[in-house]
Structure 1
Amino acid sequence: MSKAAISLIQTGLRDLGYQPGPVDGIYGPRTRDAALTWLEEGGQPLTSIRMPLTSAMIYQGAARYPVQEIILHCSATRPSWMADRSLADQVAEIRRWHVQDNGWRGIGYHWIIGRDGSILPGRKETEIGAGVVGRNQGVIHAVLIGGHGSSERDRFSEHFTAAQDLAARQLLQGIGMRTRITRISGHNEHAAKACPGFTVSDWLKEAA
């Protein structure tokens, strides 16, 4: 589990009223005990996609749009794309695409999931993203590295790694601990695109 994923879980546990210790990305005794207590009191395992029941809410922008949806994307890159470079370098390249090619003020995604399961932040969750035309307010956008040549009806495992599968589930769970998520969708549900390269609802059922 990456430090970023653990930090998200620690933040979520803290916001739900548990005591995971400092948000440091280290799965130490206090974080373990808080997670076990959460599970004993009805929480779902971290490999599940059932969203926790929380009254917490993240708000975006000056208008304070409540964040209640997560939209998944893919970078549409080949598995070999920048394979010898770090996820930080890949994020920098995506940021360059968005700023120089699209004219945006920064990277459009809030979270980036590498092929080794590592996770890095992009745009702040409190800022409105730029992932889907007309559907960015109150949405957190997360992108999986990969997905070149994919179809909206493909299976997750056809284009992404097992490490990404686990990391994505952990990311969604962590976000769901910190804001009341009511929908998890794919870019292809809002536009005529293959992205993220699988049917999100089918993938979610695999975790049920």
Structure 2
Amino acid sequence: MRNINYLVVHCTATQPDVKIESIKRYWKENLKWKSPGYHYMIKADGEIVNTLPIDQVSNGVAGWNSQIINISYIGGVDKNNQPKDTRTVEQKASLLKLLKELKSKFPKAKIQGHRDFPNVHKACPSFDAKKEYSGI
């Protein structure tokens, strides 16, 4: 098993109704990634989809991925593609549940947002994950 130091929360920076298959296609065709960007994606209805086994490395935060489990909710921008916390009640509940489960497996892992890493210049996940999940 990999040494997991971070549980990282992301948004897909898409509208909440975008399909996972279209995100995966973008990664493969546009970004030429061999692995998905996240281990888990959470749909607007709260369904948690495991897109990559956690013992494999995903593409969530450049330079840090070997020690991260990446989790994303679908959404994170408004109709003008500006950063906005678009999480549904169901997504919030599923994200909290998943983070608690992963934290129990990796108790030393820090929970934070993509934007909390050095030299990251984006709003992802469009809310303060570090603050919101500090009590887990």
Query: For this structure pair, what is the TM-score category when the shorter chain's length is used for normalisation?
Result: 0.7 to 0.9
- TM-score when scaled to structure 1? 0.58
Task: Pick one of 31, 36, 39 that aligns with 1:102.
Answer: 31
**Contiguous gaps of at least 5 residues in structure 2:** none
User: How many Å separate the matches in 2 of 1:107 and 1:92?
Assistant: 11
User: How many Å separate the matches in 1 of 2:35 and 2:21?
Assistant: 10
- Which residues of 2 match residues 7-26 of structure 1 at below 5 A? none
User: How many Å separate the matches in 2 of 1:106 and 1:173?
Assistant: 25
Number of equivalences: 130
For residue 172 of structure 1, what is the aligned residue in structure 2?
A: 99
CA RMSD of aligned residues (A): 1.7
Contact 2:42 2:72 (8 Å CA) reproduced: yes
For residue 127 of structure 2, what is the aligned residue in structure 1?
A: 198
Contact 2:44 2:87 (8 Å CA) reproduced: yes
**Aligned pair 1:150/2:83, yes or no?**
yes
The residue type paired with residue 178 of structure 1 is K
Q: 1:139 Cα deviation (Å)?
A: 0.5
Identity over aligned pairs, percent: 27
Task: Pick one of 179, 182, 186 that aligns with 2:113.
Answer: 186
User: How many Å separate the matches in 1 of 2:108 and 2:33?
Assistant: 26
- TM-score when scaled to structure 2? 0.87
User: How many Å separate the matches in 1 of 2:83 and 2:123?
Assistant: 7
1:18-77 residue CA offsets vs partner (Å, 9 max, x unmatched): xxxxxxxxxxxxxxxxxxxxxxxxxxxxxxxxxxxxxxxxx23xxxxx112111110111
